[in-house]
Amino acid sequence: MALGFAPMKLLLVEDNPTMQTTLRRAFERRGMQVVGCEDGARALDRWEASMPDVVLLDLSLPGLDGLEVLSRARAAGLRTPVMILTARGTVGDRILGLNTGADDYLAKPFDLDELEARVRALARRAAPAGTPGAPAPGPAFCGLQIDAESGAVCHAGQPMDLTARELALMRALLARPGQAVAKERLFELVFPGEREVQTEAIEVVVYRLRKKIAHTGAQLVTLRGLGYLLKAAPAGT
């Protein structure tokens, strides 16, 4: 972190002691400050007192449900970006959380690296333009680029029509173009917490995404035993 800039501050509203300890230690090792809260009824007071950069909010809380905490916070004018962390992983739950005012949603269990990346993305979006950490476009590959503001994948400046799973897959591959990403790792990102889904389901998403990027000059390649990678298509194909 550059000298003179305060570390990112997180408010972690989580009633599971093990989860709270694990996340606190993980984020503190990454140079962030963490304020913990175990009770939904106290969360708003902690929120207003600590003025965090990002709030990590569980939904199943004692005292006050997480969605009610979020609803009251937004009604009180608290605009801090909110990442919902919960075992409620259905589409209906995600929609309800986002409609209540959440900025992002991650189902348990999740990958700590992905959580950190999403938290930093939320902080960048909330930062005033021109300040350290403000959004900047990601690197382009074959005209494909992740829009830092919306998280969408664009080609030649235009957002692509991708499903949520295709988007998650594309973002993971664009982060490492030309490098293989393990099938198991991609499965965790595309089907987070969906233990009833077979690993082979990732192949269906790969097939659909491969067709959608066929016109871009990028190829989605299968490497048997290694995973998948993005590479530039040979000239003339």
CATH number of the structural domain spanning residue 175: 1.10.10.10
Task: State the sign of the Cα–Cα–Cα–Cα dihedral 225, 174, 122, 161.
Answer: negative
Q: Please give the structure tokens belonging to residue 27.
A: 């984020």
Chosen domain end from 94, 126, 158? 126
Total domains in the fold of the chain? 2
1, part of any domain: no
CA distance 205 to 163: 9
| Confidence at residue 83, expressed as pLDDT on a 0 to 100 scale | 92
CA distance 85 to 110: 9
134, part of any domain: no
Residue type at position 21? T
Co-location of 103 and 170 in the same domain: no
User: What ranges make up the beta strands (E) of the chain?
Assistant: 9-13, 33-37, 54-58, 82-86, 104-107, 144-146, 153-155, 158-159, 218-223, 227-232
Chosen domain end from 126, 157, 180? 126
| Confidence at residue 211, expressed as pLDDT on a 0 to 100 scale | 94
58, part of any domain: yes
Q: Which domain holds residue 36?
A: 9-126
How many CA atoms within 13 Å lie on the side-chain side of 180? Answer: 10
CB 203 within 8 A of CB 181: no
CA distance 45 to 67: 16
135, part of any domain: no
| Confidence at residue 3, expressed as pLDDT on a 0 to 100 scale | 35
pLDDT digit string (tens) for 11-30?
A: 999 999 998 999 988 888 88
Q: Please give the structure tokens belonging to residue 65.
A: 């449900």
User: Whole-model pTM?
Assistant: 0.53
CA distance 217 to 232: 6
CB 127 within 8 A of CB 53: no
136, part of any domain: no
CB 15 within 8 A of CB 58: yes
| Confidence at residue 179, expressed as pLDDT on a 0 to 100 scale | 87
CA distance 10 to 16: 17
pLDDT by residue for the chain (237 residues), tens only, comes to 333 345 788 999 999 999 899 998 888 888 888 989 998 888 988 898 778 889 999 988 888 888 899 989 888 888 899 999 877 655 666 677 677 788 888 888 888 888 888 888 888 876 654 444 444 455 678 889 877 656 678 888 888 888 888 888 888 888 888 888 888 888 887 886 677 888 888 999 999 999 999 999 899 999 988 899 999 887 655
